[in-house]
Amino acid sequence: MDISSIIQFVIDLVAVLLLALGIKGLSKVRSARSANRLAAFAMLLSVIGLISYYFGTTGISIQSWSWIIIGTILGGSLGGILARKVPMTSMPETVALFNGCGGMSSLLVALGVALFPNNNVDNFDFFISFIEIVSISISIFVGAITFSGSIVAMAKLQGWLSTPSWTQSKIRHLINIVFGIISLIAFIDLIQYSSASSIWLLVISSSLLGIGVTLPIGGADMPVVISLLNSYSGIAAASAGFVVGSQLLIVAGAMVGAAGLILTQVMCKGMNRSLISVLFGGTLSAKATNSSTKGEYTNITSCSVEECALTLEAANKVIIVPGYGLAVAQAQHTLREVTKILELNNIDVKYAIHPVAGRMPGHMNVLLAEADVPYEQLKEMDIINPDFPATDVVLVLGANDVVNPQAKNDETSPLYGMPVLDVQEARSVFVIKRGMSAGYSGIKNDLFDLPNTSMVFGDAKKVLSELITELRELGVGVK
Ligand code: NAP
């Protein structure tokens, strides 16, 4: 081993360790920002390792490593600009785009090695060549699916692409099976004969398979698909690591692949849906159409903002339940103002965070962090559920499915088995939403019919602004 290989090996080892620490840190809101920086630094370190290797290796021209520098500066600047410009609400589509880029780079690396093989390849023994061609085939197959699937997911979330009606019929399964079989034939042919025609057939059929599987999936299921595609991009990167002999890429790809799979499983569990039903089962609202859970409301109590303010004034303990509607209304800052007023009146305020509230993992944490809500006040579902019976007022803000008691009480409900927040246990519940429309699952919410629930109809931001006025008029929070 020459000195430049040893330096690169040590740098790669440090980069892998930092990356692992970064991924671990992402699991806590408090450490997430620094963990993200650590992981980015690990990636920079790996590029430095690669450049130092080329720099130290004799016989390699300056062009070889100068292209790496140009690519790093270009890619890094683009990533930096995107990260600064993209609003929080567009995070799912940004993640989808980044996954697509990951899939595309693995695909290009494998294509480069397959179409312009290094002369040394002939010197490899049969086993090494076999591993290499299998890795190339996996990189092309998974990389192409990840790329095309992620671009479709991004376009759908961005509103550039709608779900064509024919993709909801059973024909879509037949079409995808055909693409799958063609991909398999091309995959086997590539391993056997390494021909250019099988490479291109595999690229085309697996790209079409990625589009065919992602196109029929409804917008609200997209976050699950995106985390699955994230996992695929890790698998593609790991196999690209085998292709170019990079231990760093293998380990980093495996970590991303495993983390994406775990996140997919957590999200499916939080929504009480199997991955199979998300990928192939059509939309959840279609399932709810045939269900008894589409019934009429019989006991709705609506109240004014003033009544809500009067109840809040007399409360000691208040729990806020944020949901998708809060993000739609962009009412997080107004909500923070309301809770500040309540706290000035010595009212204990906490936020109940359901794992799949909103439309992406951690949606509510990100939204509330934007409004500088202290981390200590955000309580996860399992921690806060026992607190509801001792709570005076619960404010449900644009949340629906995550507070539906049907999930616990009605075995016929599509939500049955999904863990929910037990808000109905509190003394008074105020639900702030614009009308009686259903949430993402498309089903009736039994909470709205309960005697201790009152509906305050209106856009969340507007209602919260009026609440601030009412509370001030009542002298709440005025010292
Ligand atoms: P939800 O069930 O989708 O309900 C959102 C509610 O917000 C609606 O009932 C809507 O009622 C209301 N709303 C919309 N705009 C509003 C506005 N401007 N002001 C006030 N209210 C507004 O939301 P959720 O309780 O947060 O549940 C999330 C759902 O998404 C779950 O079913 C979950 O499984 C699913 N999901 C989550 C993820 C994730 O990663 N977090 C991913 C995929 C799917 P009105 O129209 O009547 O106002």
Three-state SS annotation for 278-303: HHHCCCHHHHHHCCHHHCCCCCCCEC
Query: Active site residue: 401, 410, 422, 446, which one?
Result: 401
Greatest mean pLDDT range, 159-163, 284-288, 453-457: 453-457
The string of pLDDT tens digits covering residues 74-123 is 999 999 999 889 877 788 889 899 999 999 999 999 999 988 876 554 44
Rounded distance from Cα 425 to ligand 1 centre (Å): 21
The string of pLDDT tens digits covering residues 197-208 is 999 999 999 999
- Given pLDDT bands bounded at 50, 70 and 90, which one contains residue 415? confident
Residue 364 phi/psi, 5-degree rounding, is: -70, -35
Instruction: Name the residue of 434, 436, 466, 467 to mutate for ligand 1: max ligand atoms within 8 A of Cβ.
Output: 434
The string of pLDDT tens digits covering residues 170-225 is 888 899 999 999 999 999 999 988 888 999 999 999 999 999 999 988 766 788 88
**C-alpha–C-alpha distance, residues 449 and 296, integer Å:** 10
Instruction: Name the residue of 89, 305, 324, 364 to mutate for ligand 1: max ligand atoms within 8 A of Cβ.
Output: 324
Taking alpha carbons only, the member of 383, 424, 386 closest to residue 402 is: 424
Which atom of ligand 1 sits closest to the CA of residue 401?
A: 2
Which atom of ligand 1 sits closest to the CA of residue 284?
A: 32
**C-alpha–C-alpha distance, residues 340 and 346, integer Å:** 10
Which atom of ligand 1 sits closest to the CA of residue 403?
A: 25
Are residues 100 and 150 in contact, defined by beta-carbon separation less than 8 angstroms?
Answer: yes
The string of pLDDT tens digits covering residues 347-367 is 999 999 998 898 787 889 889
Taking alpha carbons only, the member of 442, 407, 441 closest to residue 422 is: 407
Q: Whose CA is nearest to atom 8 of ligand 1?
A: 439
Q: Which residues line ligand 1 (CB under 6 A)?
A: 220-221, 223, 267, 271, 323-325, 328-329, 356-361, 363, 398-402, 432-435, 437, 439-441, 459-460
Percent of the chain with pLDDT over 90: 55
401 is catalytic: yes
Report field, pTM of the whole predicted structure over 0.95: no
At residue 122, the pLDDT reads 46
